[in-house]
């Protein structure tokens, strides 16, 4: 029997929860490598865009001359997983962005930045996530920190999770379009690696 080699997944390492994503990916069976340069991007089978501050990450992408290469790679089908600021970066359309803020795009969604309110309004909740086995019985614990939500999703976008209760009930917080996955929340800090497993599976299935 032959076993599939572990896919190599890059973690955009300009700002944010890089280490946490890398260790979640390793737990989910991938080889995780930091990506700061176009040459490094060219070696990966998939890429994670961590949370942080989307305006800062956009600036750093330009400083590191990675904005265009990353945009092109995602457009050409490189599997990508964005959490929080990473979701903002993957959105084709942005509401509530900073003046002149641009996104890489790749997901046919409109994302509202800082949708849930300010830092003090950050919150945690349990979610059923389509594609995460057993999450109806054993929900995904989701941590939202100045998070965006998906305001509108195009016809090819699958909504994977919505908030169940509270003032944000019904808001879309996880989506997938082909091999691009995005969550409003931070799956890397909860110790539950099922979303990273899902992404590793997406990357493996593609290869
Ligand atoms: N509010 C941040 C932004 O606009 C995202 C927050 C996060 O990634 N935790 O980029």
Which domains does the chain possess? 8-206 (3.40.50.880)
- What does the pLDDT read at residue 190? 86
Alpha-carbon distances of 58 from 52, 54, 150, 156, rounded to whole Å: 11, 6, 19, 26
Asked if the model's pLDDT at residue 127 lies above 60, the reply is yes
Asked if the model's pLDDT at residue 5 lies above 90, the reply is no
> pLDDT confidence of 2, banded at 50, 70, 90?
low
How much is the mean pLDDT over the chain? Answer: 95
- What does the pLDDT read at residue 37? 97
Structure tokens at 168: 């944000």
Could you confirm whether 186 is annotated as catalytic? yes
**Percent of the chain whose pLDDT exceeds 70:** 97
Q: Residue-wise over 186-204: b if at least 16 C-beta within 10 A, else e?
A: bbbbbebbbbbbbbbebbb
Between the CA of 144 and the centroid of ligand 1 the distance, in Å, is 9
Could you confirm whether 188 is annotated as catalytic? yes
Ligand 1 binding pocket includes 53 (Cβ within 6 Å): yes
- What does the pLDDT read at residue 119? 55
């Amino acid at each position: 029997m032959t076993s599939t080699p572990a896919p190599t997944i890059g973690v955009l390492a300009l700002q944010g929860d890089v280490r946490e994503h890398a260790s979640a990916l390793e737990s989910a069976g991938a080889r995780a490598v930091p990506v700061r340069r176009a040459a490094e991007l060219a070696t990966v089978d998939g890429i994670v865009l961590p949370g942080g501050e989307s305006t800062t990450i956009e600036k750093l992408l330009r400083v590191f001359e990675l904005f265009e290469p990353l945009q092109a790679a995602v457009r050409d089908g490189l599997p990508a997983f964005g959490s929080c600021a990473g979701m903002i970066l993957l959105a084709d359309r942005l509401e509530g962005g900073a003046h002149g803020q641009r996104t890489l795009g790749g997901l046919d969604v409109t994302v509202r930045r800082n949708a849930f309110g300010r830092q003090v309004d950050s919150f945690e909740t349990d979610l059923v996530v389509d594609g995460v086995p057993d999450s109806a019985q054993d929900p995904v614990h989701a941590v939202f920190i100045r998070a965006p939500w998906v305001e509108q999703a195009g016809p090819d976008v699958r909504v994977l999770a919505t908030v169940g209760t509270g003032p944000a009930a019904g808001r879309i917080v996880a989506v997938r379009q082909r091999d691009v996955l995005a969550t409003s929340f931070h799956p890397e800090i909860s110790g539950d690696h099922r979303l990273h497993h899902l992404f590793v599976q997406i990357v493996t299935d593609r290869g």
